Amino acid sequence: MTAPLHPDTVAVHSGRSDLQGLGVHALPIDLSTTNPLPDIERGGESYEAMATGGRPPADGSMVYARLWNPTVARFEEALAELEHAEASVAFASGMAAMTAVILAHGAAAGKRHVVAVRPLYGGTDHLLGSGLLGVETTYCEPDEVASSIRPDTGLVVVETPANPTLDIADIAAVVAQAGGVPVVVDNTFATPVLQNPIDLGAAMSLHSATKYLGGHGDVIAGVVACSEQTAEALRRVRAVTGGLLHPLGAYLLHRGLTTLPVRMRAQQESARRIVQWLIDRPEVAEVWYPGLRSKGSYPGLDGDQHGILERQMRGTGAMIAMRMRGGFAAASAVTSATELFTHAVSLGGVDSLIQHPAALTHRPVPPEARPAADVLRLSIGLENADDLIADLARAFAALPADETAGAAPEELHAVR
């Protein structure tokens, strides 16, 4: 039996099993919107199979790109292998993916209640609370999942590390509390390089593939890794609602996977250096980063207070959140003063970004769950870490003196 391949190797070679037969080496792009039908009977059988969530029959047709596309399917195969899942289903955006998950496990399944662990990405939080998809949501802390479950609960939603404050939830513990209720984990910040929720009992691992999976800020997509049975339900929602991923986007994502492990490790190392610098800055009142325990402690698994990181992650990632001592005025000034950090939403690309969650991505979230006005989020890219630190130092130096004054920083807690 062949030994299991290292994830770095899987990232390069997965989803390419049919290339030899096609006689090509580079990933091809199939842009066909419609496909020839062998005959009426087999064409009809093919349509029905895929419209209900299945795969195209071997002797049939792919019929129509809303139902199936080989370029998209290759990316799905590759991501599933990286996530240790039977299958994955790709969508036009991360929100389209989350919408399909809620529909498949909510009202469409006769289960109109969702349990959601906060904090969550603002778009997800808003979607769940809007009632738009016909579900009622109970928001809770990670240790309140069991008490929040009802007979009509169809789904538990958790994001770890969470957006934007990088709270860590114990996935296995959440799954245990959920009992038989499916758990979907938003794995966007960690990626399959650092975390595999399905290995910990989660039913689904969801990504805004726009972020680290693509990695270059040029494609919007979402993807859910899961069992084949769950994939059939998600593909059915995708076929009916039309939330399909364009083949060009799938091509870019598949290509992005090949460098994902290398990018993630390099960005993570820079993030650790920047965190170490930030915790000593008088302008910064608090820093959130996985494993960061107290002022002066080197960020990493050694700061894992509860042992969660060691059990479920293989690293600490490249996202940082910080609270500015000068409040909203200081936070706003810093976003306008950086030069290498682009002031923009999104994350996970090769270039570094800075943004104000409360004013942007988490603006629709109710005030009681919205990040504070003095919080900024950093996505660390592939620039030289010293250059990024110098950029932040210049932005901090431009702050008025009264926006950096105050008592000594409190003890830092990234794992809560």
> Taking the mean position of all CA atoms in its chain, how far away is CA 196?
12
The catalytic position among 8, 16, 30, 66 is 66
Is residue 125 annotated as part of the catalytic site, yes or no? no
Task: Give the whole-angstrom CA distance, residue 183 versus residue 116.
Answer: 10
Is residue 255 annotated as part of the catalytic site, yes or no? no
Is residue 66 annotated as part of the catalytic site, yes or no? yes
Q: Smallest Cα–Cα separation from 224: which of 247, 252, 243, 241?
A: 243
Q: What is the DSSP letter of 64?
A: B
The catalytic position among 211, 238, 325, 377 is 211
Q: What is the DSSP letter of 27?
A: P
* Structure token pair of residue 259: 């460098």
Is residue 47 annotated as part of the catalytic site, yes or no? no
Task: Quote the strand ranges of 132-212, DSSP E.
Answer: 136-140, 153-159, 183-186, 204-208
- For the chain, give percent helix, strand, coil, nearest 5: 40, 15, 45
Q: Tell me if residue 272 falls in helix, strand or coil.
A: helix
The catalytic position among 121, 139, 251, 289 is 121
Task: Give the whole-angstrom CA distance, residue 191 versus residue 210.
Answer: 12
Task: Give the whole-angstrom CA distance, residue 67 versus residue 69.
Answer: 7
The b/e string for 17-42 (b: 16+ C-beta within 10 A; e otherwise) is eeeeeeeeeebeebeeeebebeeeee
The catalytic position among 125, 167, 170, 186 is 186
Sole residue written with tokens 């959440």:
174
Active-site residues, by number, are 66, 121, 186, 211
